[in-house]
Amino acid sequence: MDLNLRGRTALITGASKGIGLASAECLAAEGVNVILVSRTQSDLDAARERLAGRYNVNVQVHAYDLSDSRNVDRLAEQHADIDILVNNAGAIPGGDLQQITEDRWRTAWDLKVFGYINMCRRFYAEMKTRKRGVIINILGMAGEKMDRTYIAGSTGNAALMAFTRALGGSAGDDGLRVVGINPGAIATDRLVTLMKTRAQNQFGDENRWEEYTKPLPMGRAGTPPEIGTMVAFLASDLSAYTTGTIITIDGGAANRGPMF
C-alpha cells in the first residue's frame, strides 16, 4: 500500500535498534527522509548504513542523550520543519518498589517520561506554526496492565498515556495529531533484559528468562516491524482522523489474564 508519505521528514528517537529502527525502516520504505537519534554513535552509524543502502531517502543521525533537555532544544533548532515525530527513546528498569531506588527511577523518567514531554513541547510548537504534523509516542502495555514488578515502567507509561490523550484530544484544533502505541512483548534486546531481571528475581537464575515466552499470545513475542508498520500508517493521511488515542499491539495480552 502506498501511504503517500514520500518526501516527508520524520525524526525518530531511540532509533538505532529495535522498535525505533524498525519504525525508521518502515517510514523509509515509504519514501520518508529520516533523522535518527540515540545515544550511541556507532549504533547510529550502522543504522544509517543499513537504511541508506536499502532506500532512496536522506538519512541523518544525531548522538544525543535526550534526558538532557538542552539536547531537545538543539534538535528542535536543527530540525524545526519535520513532519513526523516518533518518540521511542527510553528503557525503564524492571523491579518492584523496594528494588528501584529513587536515583534509578528519576534517571529512567528523565529520559522516557520527561524526554517525551520535552520533545512534544518543542516540536508541537514548531508544527503548530505550520498547522501540520504528527507525533507518535511509543509507550508500553504495562501502562494499561499494571505490574508491581515493573512499577516504574507501569507508572511512567500510564502517565504518558494520559499525556498523549490530553495533548492529542485538542491537537486537531491546531491542525496536528498526537497518538500513542502500546507495544506488548516485542522481540527486542530490551525485552530479553527485562525477562532476565524477572528470572533473576523469581528463580535466582537469569538464564531461565526464556520460560516467560511460553505463555505469550500466539506462542511468540511480537516483532519490531509489526510496530513500525503501525507507525507508518498512523503517520499517514490515511489515518487523518486519528488523534488523542492509544493503539495497543500485544496479541491480546492486555485482555487475556496474567501472562507471568
Domain boundaries, the chain: 9-186+222-249
Condensed to tens digits (0 to 9), the pLDDT of residues 86-113 reads: 999 988 888 999 999 999 999 999 999 9
Q: What 3-state class would DSSP assign to 209?
A: helix
Q: State mean pLDDT over 42-47.
A: 97
The Cα–Cα gap between 166 and 10 comes to 23
pTM of the model: 0.91
Sheet with 84-87, edge to edge strand ranges: 59-63, 33-38, 9-13, 84-87, 133-138, 176-183, 246-249
CATH number of 9-186+222-249: 3.40.50.720
Closest CA to 9 of 24, 183, 257: 24
Condensed to tens digits (0 to 9), the pLDDT of residues 129-185 reads: 999 999 999 999 888 888 898 999 999 999 999 999 999 999 999 999 999 999 998
Question: Strand pairing partners for 108?
Answer: none
Q: What 3-state class would DSSP assign to 126?
A: helix
